Amino acid sequence: MNTQSRKEVVVSEKGPKAIGAYSAGIKAGGFVFCSGQLGIDPATGNLVEGGIEAETRQAINNLSALLEAAGSSLENVVKTTVFLRDINDFAKMNEVYGSFFQSAPPARSAFQVGALPRGAAVEIEAIALVP
């Protein structure tokens, strides 16, 4: 079987564990598909304090750890989806988000949703190339 056609589960020792019946990441076909990451501190298992900015920063750090475990990085992200508890937090989220994706930022969608797990303010998922 061609290694490009296999599916491999990705787990990061530096990020939070999946909190349900899903994989945090799946590597397949030269890509890594990252499940939505919350602003959970991997050391405590709790959401970080500090509002949307702190949660956004931690969610992206968690994505970064997952991408690293897959052999990729934030620089290789081609698409993100951002889920917001309150669309009025978009500007604050975007400021933090932009600090991580300064050069050739990925395509992105952002939505307000009814609710997020653990009462989170933001959840971010990503698709990245695995070089």
Residue 34 maps to which CATH number?
A: 3.30.1330.40
Q: How many CB atoms lie within 10 A of CB 66?
A: 24
Cβ burial 13-47 (10 Å sphere, 16+ → b, else e):
eebbeeeeeeebbbbeeebbbbbbbbbbeeeeeeb
The tens-digit pLDDT sequence of the chain (131 residues) is: 455 568 999 988 888 877 778 899 999 999 999 999 999 999 999 999 999 999 999 999 999 999 999 999 999 999 999 999 999 999 999 999 999 999 999 999 999 999 999 999 999 999 999 99
pTM across the whole model: 0.93
Both tokens of 103, joined, read 């050069």
Cα dihedral 60, 16, 28, 110, rounded to 10, equals -40
Residue 129 corresponds to which amino acid?
L
Both tokens of 115, joined, read 């609710």
Domain count for the chain, please give it. 1
What is the span of the domain harbouring residue 57? 3-129
